[in-house]
Amino acid sequence: MPASITSAEPTAAQLARRRTLLAERAAHWKRTRKLTLVLLALWFATSFGTVFFARELSGVTLFDWPLSFYFAAQGAALIYLAILAAYAVVMRRIDRRFERRIGELE
């Protein structure tokens, strides 16, 4: 929370700081949204794409496994786990980047 909100007459420097803070927040949210969108697209393709084309994929085998069965039984779930790992890692990076920028302001 910016401390300047409460002061009655914000100085020009305080106003500028507040603007940068808001801009940084907006940038952070934009990055978060982009990451969310990309990972959701991957989630969607994994869940519904592989099932929709399951009959076409069932002829292909991967180490004895019919591909469509493998995806539904294990592959999709492992991709979900990877999505969650990627989200946690990249979000931490995005958060750190925000913290660094705010730290530069102080």
Q: Does 20 bind another protein (CB under 8 A)?
A: no
As separate numbers, helices (DSSP H) first and strands (DSSP E) second, the chain gives 5, 2
Judged by CB under 8 A, does residue 27 bind another protein? Answer: no
Work out how close the CB of 2 gets to another protein at its nearest, in angstroms, rounded to a whole number.
11
**Residues 61, 56: Cα–Cα separation, whole Å:** 12
CB of 61 closer than 8 Å to CB of 67? yes
Residue 94 in tokens: 């995005």
Interface with another protein in residues 54-93 (CB under 8 A): 54-55, 58, 63-66, 68-70, 72-74, 76-78, 80-81, 83-85, 87-88, 91-92
2 CB-near residues (< 8 Å, 6+ apart): 17, 18, 21
The site for another protein (CB under 8 A) is made up of 25, 28-29, 32, 36, 39-40, 43, 46-48, 51-52, 54-55, 58, 63-66, 68-70, 72-74, 76-78, 80-81, 83-85, 87-88, 91-92, 94-95, 98-99
